């Protein structure tokens, strides 16, 4: 059968199964199996077992359940409440108010965690219930979280930059440094958008502060932030102080959260078990979807669909800007159906030579890739941030995707900005080589 | 017929480039009857799962770093015994000596050896210059296997496990101060960003091997089988010629980027050779008969 | 009988949670080991095995709690009878899929056992041992799906969808 027809068939089958209410992970496995059979590969059983074993024992993923657990523990302490109480005197006067807590906490937590699912899960567990309680618009609370959760990939450490760095033979240390400014840029874009939105939709925000807030109240508020800041500082310090690697930092984070919970008296046998079972529920869900995504990726590798699409683009002899445009579209389309990291793995061998031929800086291209992968994290039907937020809120994937749409577009703006001003990416790494 | 061949390393690496040429030659000489798709960089199958995938016929061919098979059988360990074979000539001789035992073991697992490609010799990267082992005493050195761990012990350093992607950060934050790896890996990860000294001790010369599933191979007609065997012979020959050039080029790149590249001092060399002797003895003790045979063949 | 079932589901969740605790302890041990100059042999391997065990052993518990997510946008608009047919259909489909996966994973364990496969790190761990947790987890999920299917056939609402409904009610 023609590859185009196979692709269309697989996409339709996936949409059909999903809309029938088949669980996401089961759907991905079924489509992967169908893909293998269509590629005339009949060892579906062996391939499933090998791919699942490989996917579920990956060292880089061990941090995920720990960060999720950390979020569950913190959710059961007074810490999340304190986070809001401490920040509200500062953010109360800013349009969009406490919605910025989502963006800022994700930005900070991203410096600890290398994955966007872990960032969205940990921060969302703390912030979403509190924002809802205070009467913030659900849609905006979810949108800001879905959008800024993706910062986990851009701000170092980052799983995807490691994958890219190894494949493209670009220094991972440089990639990490290159991600810092674009990360800040995204934070600014998200906050700017939230301010404009807040200014236009005053009716959808709780009406708390009509009067000026005194500086003493602000300073008092800061005190409430001490435990949270201490915890994050402790984890960051252990990474940059040379005590742990980023993966191991998750263990430090959980331990710190448990100690904090114990100190504030909110740790009991009951809450410990509750938090652990809560973590089991989320991490099993994500873990099994990852198993399915990995299996589907394997089928795509055998079928060669992403590779063929990349080859088709490379045959068009495009200018560098056109190439970037086409690649963005390619990644966004593939990213709807496949997990973003898989898209990179499947296409990098074809794409890198054409990127080099077009004289595009490989370091810059790495950050570009992260941005498009971030977009794929929030596009339906397969988007890991959407899955995480659906399981946190019970809201439908499409609702979450709609809420995340403005942030999807803002990442597009960021891509445009780094294309026009590549220095945003390359400036910091060049200062590094002059040491 | 369409075959799939997963390889563990990216396109910039010599073994992967040779794999592409190998697949191309087979396609041409069979007039397109046998079309092998190379899936580089672990994009189809993760490195650690490649042996199993070939063994069970999930893919027909695959490439694997010989060192990771050490736990399955001591004969595979010939590939990473430090200071046993330190020049390409010796490494080739050692490979010829070990080949019958390796082939036999692979055959037992349903696989057939096609060819091997060597890496440039593994040398010492360190934060501070090293003139003798005393300079390394008490420092932390990266270890990733029982034998690198033992080596670190014998060198008077503390073995420390670090995953490959974490290496740059581990050096800059002081988790480790030394590691032994090839100049190619150093160039790939731009080692000059995080470490200054490269001492060319040439500890050992590891290889990647390319294997084919026995059943898949037997199902081919005689002519096609011969095409594969010929291509494998060419690939192995090309590997040994190109790796020497590659080693020189990579070392030059390290110098170009400001790393201090030095030859080991006679004192250091003497100390390291003593360690090599100890580790060879320990290896021999693991399987006196098989390893003994390899060593006798190698040393004569 | 139903009490025993409850206990088994909870057991699935607790075993999975235990594995998360094990990962935490392993990573902490590795950090401490690095500070004190000893190596925890194969810590990454064991953390990986614990991760796989955690993911798979908790599948049944997660399924019953409605933790595995799906798109309910279309099906929640169905009237009761078509909805029952839809749930029945997807449960039968899922049951068939999981029967196949149970076979695939069990066969993997068997194959690792007869081939004497061992891990590549410091300690040569026979792979069939950690792989058994994967097979057990998939089989348990398979049984959980069967359990839900029987509930639907008896005309009751499956537990996972009760959980889904309570979640969305709480949110509206
Ligand atoms: Na990050
Ligand atoms: Na997506």
User: What confidence tens digit (pLDDT) does each residue in A83-104 have?
Assistant: 888 887 777 777 778 889 889 8
Give the separation between CA B118 and CA B158, rounded to whole angstroms. Answer: 28
**Structure tokens that stand for A297 in this block:** 């990726």
Averaged confidence pLDDT in chain A: 87
| Strands B207-213 and B61-65, bridge-based pairing | antiparallel
Total Cβ atoms within 10 A of residue A81: 14
pLDDT of residue C119: 85
pLDDT of residue B84: 92
Percent of chain A at pLDDT exceeding 90? 36
The answer to whether residue A432 scores a pLDDT higher than 80 is no
Reported as type and span, the H/E element at residue A4 is: helix A3-19
> What is the widest separation between alpha-carbon atoms in chain A?
72
Total Cβ atoms within 10 A of residue A200: 10
Instruction: Kindly give, in sequence order, each residue whose CB lies less than 8 Å from that of residue A415, ignoring residues fewer than 6 positions away.
Output: A324, A328, A368, A371, A372
The answer to whether residue B220 scores a pLDDT higher than 90 is yes
With CA atoms as reference, report the closest residue to C128 among C138, C141, C119, C137: C119
Q: Strands, DSSP E only, in A34-161? A: none
- Write out residues 170-189 of B within 8 Å (CB-CB) of C: 175
Q: A369-381 pLDDT, tens per residue?
A: 999 999 998 998 8
How is chain B classified by DSSP, letter by letter?
Answer: -EEEEE-SS-TTSHHHHHHHHHHHHHHHHTTTSSEEEEE-TTSSS-GGGHHHHHHTTSSSEEEEEGGGGTTT-GGGGGGG-TTT--SHHHHHHHHHHHHHHHHHHHHHTTEEEEEEEEPPPPEEEESS--SSGGGGTT-EEE--SHHHHHHHHHTTSEEE---GGGHHHHHHTTS-SEEEE-HHHHHHTTGGGT--EEE-------EEEEEEEHHHHHTS-HHHHHHHHHHHHHHHHHHHHHHHHHHHHHHHHHHHTT-EEEPPPHHHHHHHHHHHHHHHHHHHHHSHHHHHHHHHHHH-
Q: Which residues of B touch C120 (CB under 8 A)?
A: 48, 68-71
The answer to whether residue B190 scores a pLDDT higher than 70 is yes
Q: How far is the CA of A358 from the centre of ligand 1 (A)?
A: 29
* Touching partners of C (3+ C-beta pairs < 8 Å): A, B
pLDDT of residue B239: 94
Q: SS3 for A207?
A: coil
Give the separation between CA A191 and CA A170, rounded to whole angstroms. Answer: 31
Give the separation between CA A372 and CA A369, rounded to whole angstroms. Answer: 5
Taking phi over 0 as left and psi of -120 to 50 as alpha, with beta for the rest, B195 belongs to beta
For tokens 């949270």, the residue is A228
Q: C93-128 pLDDT, tens per residue?
A: 999 999 999 999 999 999 999 988 888 878 889 999
CB contact, 8 Å: B194 with chain A? yes
Of B133-147, B196-210, B225-239, C102-116, the least confident: B133-147
Flag if C115 and B149 touch (Cβ within 8 Å): no
Asked if residue A190 lies in contact with residue A144, where contact means CB atoms within 8 angstroms, the answer is: yes
The answer to whether residue A434 scores a pLDDT higher than 50 is no
With CA atoms as reference, report the closest residue to A20 among C138, C91, C155, C79: C91
pLDDT of residue A51: 92
Give the separation between CA A217 and CA A224, rounded to whole angstroms. Answer: 11
Asked if residue A68 lies in contact with residue A279, where contact means CB atoms within 8 angstroms, the answer is: yes
The answer to whether residue A71 scores a pLDDT higher than 80 is yes
Averaged confidence pLDDT in chain C: 89
Name the DSSP class of A204. G
Query: Would you call the peptide bond into A425 cis, given omega within 30 degrees of 0 as the criterion?
Result: no
The answer to whether residue A80 scores a pLDDT higher than 50 is yes
Q: B239-290 pLDDT, tens per residue?
A: 999 999 999 999 999 999 999 999 999 999 999 999 999 999 999 999 999 9
Give the separation between CA B103 and CA A108, rounded to whole angstroms. Answer: 53
Total Cβ atoms within 10 A of residue A196: 12
Selected residue of C29, C33, C39 to mutate for chain B interface (largest B Cβ count, 10 A)? C39
Instruction: Kindly give, in sequence order, each residue whose CB lies less than 8 Å from that of residue B158, ignoring residues fewer than 6 positions away.
Output: B138, B139, B140, B141, B152, C37
Phi first, then psi, for residue A381 (nearest 5°) are -80, -20
Give the separation between CA A184 and CA A207, rounded to whole angstroms. Answer: 29
The answer to whether residue A205 scores a pLDDT higher than 80 is no
Calculate the alpha carbon distances from A111 to A119, A151, A224 in Å.
10, 9, 22
Flag if A277 and C69 touch (Cβ within 8 Å): no
End-to-end CA distance of chain B: 44
pLDDT of residue A209: 54
Min Cα–Cα distance to chain A from B66, Å: 19
* Touching partners of A (3+ C-beta pairs < 8 Å): B, C
How is C60-93 classified by DSSP, letter by letter?
Answer: HHHHHTT-S----TTGGGS-HHHHHHHHHHHHHH
For tokens 């399915």, the residue is A292
pLDDT of residue A413: 95
Phi first, then psi, for residue C157 (nearest 5°) are -85, 130
With CA atoms as reference, report the closest residue to A60 among A177, A157, A167: A157
Asked if residue B260 lies in contact with residue B197, where contact means CB atoms within 8 angstroms, the answer is: yes
Tell me the average pLDDT across C118-139.
Answer: 91
- Considering only the beta carbons, identify the residue of C30, C115, C118 that sits closest to B71: C118
Q: A374-405 pLDDT, tens per residue?
A: 999 899 888 889 998 988 888 888 889 999 99
Give the separation between CA B258 and CA B287, rounded to whole angstroms. Answer: 44
Phi first, then psi, for residue A133 (nearest 5°) are -60, -40
ipTM of the complex in this document? 0.90
More confident residue, A157 or C166: A157
Give the separation between CA B54 and CA A373, rounded to whole angstroms. Answer: 32
Q: Which residues of B touch C119 (CB under 8 A)?
A: 71
Give the separation between CA A175 and CA A361, rounded to whole angstroms. Answer: 12
Asked if residue A376 lies in contact with residue A401, where contact means CB atoms within 8 angstroms, the answer is: no
Burial class of residue C159, CB neighbours in 10 A (0-12, 13-18, 19+) = middle
Calculate the alpha carbon distances from A253 to A212, A239, A276 in Å.
37, 11, 15
Asked if residue B74 lies in contact with residue B290, where contact means CB atoms within 8 angstroms, the answer is: yes
**Structure tokens that stand for B73 in this block:** 């059988």
Chain B's closest residue to A51, CA to CA, is: B45
Q: How far is the CA of A412 from the centre of ligand 2 (A)?
A: 14
With CA atoms as reference, report the closest residue to B112 among B26, B209, B182, B17: B209
Give the separation between CA A234 and CA A253, rounded to whole angstroms. Answer: 8
Tell me the average pLDDT across A327-339.
Answer: 89
Alpha carbon B234 to its chain centroid, in Å, reads 19
Name the DSSP class of A261. H
Tell me the average pLDDT across A10-18.
Answer: 93
With CA atoms as reference, report the closest residue to A351 among A306, A418, A381, A397: A306
Burial class of residue A411, CB neighbours in 10 A (0-12, 13-18, 19+) = buried
- Considering only the beta carbons, identify the residue of A248, A273, A283 that sits closest to C27: A248
Name the DSSP class of C158. P
For tokens 């259909």, the residue is C89
With CA atoms as reference, report the closest residue to B81 among B298, B290, B277, B296: B277
How is A351-384 classified by DSSP, letter by letter?
Answer: HHHHHHHTT--HHHHHHHHHHHHHHHHTSSSS-H
pTM value? 0.90
Min Cα–Cα distance to chain B from A171, Å: 5
Confidence of residue C40 (pLDDT cuts 50, 70, 90): confident
Calculate the alpha carbon distances from A325 to A331, A354, B165 in Å.
10, 14, 30
CB contact, 8 Å: C172 with chain A? no
Q: Which residues of C touch B161 (CB under 8 A)?
A: 30, 39-40, 43-44
């Amino acid at each position: 059968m023609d590859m185009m027809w196979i692709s269309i068939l697989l996409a339709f089958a996936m949409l059909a199964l999903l809309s029938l209410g088949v669980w996401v992970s089961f759907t991905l496995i079924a489509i992967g199996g169908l893909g293998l059979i269509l590629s005339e590969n009949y060892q579906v059983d062996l391939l499933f077992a090998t791919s699942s074993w490989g996917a579920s024992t990956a060292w880089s993923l061990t941090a995920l359940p720990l960060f999720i657990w950390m979020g569950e523990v913190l959710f059961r302490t007074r810490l999340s409440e304190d986070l809001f109480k401490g920040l509200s005197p500062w953010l109360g006067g800013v349009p969009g108010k406490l919605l910025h807590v989502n963006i800022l906490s994700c930005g900070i937590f991203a410096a600890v965690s290398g994955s966007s699912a872990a960032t969205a899960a940990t921060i969302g567990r703390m912030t979403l219930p509190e924002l809802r309680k205070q009467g913030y618009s659900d849609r905006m609370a979810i949108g800001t979280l879905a959008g800024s959760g993706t910062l986990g990939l851009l701000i170092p450490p980052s799983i995807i930059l490691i994958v890219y760095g190894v494949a493209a033979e670009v220094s991972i240390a440089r990639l990490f440094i290159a991600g810092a400014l674009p990360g800040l840029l995204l934070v600014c874009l998200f906050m700017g958008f939230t301010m404009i939105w807040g200014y236009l939709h005053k009716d959808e925000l709780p009406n708390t502060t009509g009067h000026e807030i005194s500086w003493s109240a602000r300073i008092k508020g800061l005190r409430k932030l001490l435990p949270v800041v201490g915890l994050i500082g402790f984890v960051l310090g252990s990474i940059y102080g040379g005590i742990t690697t980023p993966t191991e930092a998750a263990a430090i984070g959980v331990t710190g959260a448990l100690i904090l919970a114990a100190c504030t008296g909110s740790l009991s046998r009951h809450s410990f078990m509750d938090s652990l079972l809560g973590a089991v529920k989320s991490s099993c869900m994500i873990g099994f979807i990852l198993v399915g995504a990995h299996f589907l990726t394997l089928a795509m590798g055998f079928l060669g669909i992403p590779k063929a699409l990349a080859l088709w683009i490379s045959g068009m002899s495009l200018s560098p800007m056109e190439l970037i445009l086409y690649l963005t579209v390619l990644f966004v389309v593939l990213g709807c159906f496949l997990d973003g990291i898989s898209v990179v793995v499947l296409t990098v061998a074809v794409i890198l030579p054409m990127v080099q031929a077009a004289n595009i800086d490989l370091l810059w291209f790495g950050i570009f890739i992260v941005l498009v992968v971030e977009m794929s994290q929030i596009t339906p039907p397969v988007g890991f941030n959407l899955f995480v937020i659906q399981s946190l809120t019970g809201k439908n994937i499409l609702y979450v995707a709609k809420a995340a749409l403005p942030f999807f577009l803002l990442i597009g703006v960021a891509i445009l900005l780094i294309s026009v001003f590549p220095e945003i990416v390359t400036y910091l790494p060049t200062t590094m080589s002059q040491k | 017929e369409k075959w799939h061949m997963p390889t563990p390393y990216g396109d910039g690496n010599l073994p992967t480039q040779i794999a592409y040429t190998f697949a191309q030659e087979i396609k041409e000489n069979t007039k397109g009857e046998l079309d092998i798709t190379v899936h580089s960089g672990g994009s189809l199958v993760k490195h650690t799962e490649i042996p199993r995938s070939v063994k069970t016929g999930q893919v027909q061919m695959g490439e694997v770093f010989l060192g990771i098979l050490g736990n399955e059988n001591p004969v595979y360990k010939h590939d990473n015994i430090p200071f046993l074979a330190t020049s390409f000539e010796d490494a080739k001789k050692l490979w010829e000596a070990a080949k019958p035992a390796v082939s036999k073991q692979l055959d037992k697992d349903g696989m057939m050896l096609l060819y091997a490609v060597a890496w440039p010799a593994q040398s010492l990267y360190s934060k501070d210059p090293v003139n003798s082992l005393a300079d390394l005493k008490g420092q932390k050195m990266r270890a990733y296997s029982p034998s690198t761990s033992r080596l670190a012990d014998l060198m008077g350093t503390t073995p420390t496990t670090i995953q490959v992607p974490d290496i740059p950060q581990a050096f800059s934050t002081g988790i480790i101060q030394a590691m032994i790896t090839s100049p190619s890996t150093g160039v790939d990860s731009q080692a000059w960003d995080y470490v200054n000294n490269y001492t060319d001790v040439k500890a050992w010369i590891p290889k990647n091997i390319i294997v084919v599933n026995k059943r898949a191979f037997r199902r081919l007609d005689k002519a096609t089988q011969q095409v594969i065997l010929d291509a494998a012979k060419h690939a192995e020959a090309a590997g040994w010629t190109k790796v020497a050039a590659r080693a020189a080029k990579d070392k030059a790149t390290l110098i170009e980027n400001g790393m201090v590249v030095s030859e080991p001092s006679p004192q250091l060399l003497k100390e390291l050779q003593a360690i090599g002797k100890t580790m060879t003895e320990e290896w021999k003790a693991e399987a006196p008969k098989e390893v003994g045979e390899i060593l006798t063949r190698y040393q004569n | 009988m139903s009490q025993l079932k409850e206990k088994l589901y909870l057991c699935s969740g607790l075993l999975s949670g235990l594995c998360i605790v094990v990962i935490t302890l392993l990573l902490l041990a590795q950090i401490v080991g690095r500070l004190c100059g000893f190596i925890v042999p194969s810590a990454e391997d064991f953390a990986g095995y614990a991760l796989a065990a955690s993911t798979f052993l908790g599948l049944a518990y997660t399924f019953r709690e409605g933790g595995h997510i799906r798109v309910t946008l279309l099906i929640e608009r169905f009237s009761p009878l078509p909805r029952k047919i839809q749930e029945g259909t997807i449960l039968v489909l899922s049951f068939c899929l999981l029967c196949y996966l149970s076979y695939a994973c069990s066969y993997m364990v068997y194959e690792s056992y007869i081939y004497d496969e061992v891990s590549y790190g410091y300690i040569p761990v026979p792979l069939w041992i950690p792989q058994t947790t994967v097979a057990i987890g998939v089989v348990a999920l398979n049984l959980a799906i069967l359990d839900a299917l029987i509930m639907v056939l008896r005309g009751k609402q499956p537990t996972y969808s009760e959980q889904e409904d309570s979640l969305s009610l709480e949110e509206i």
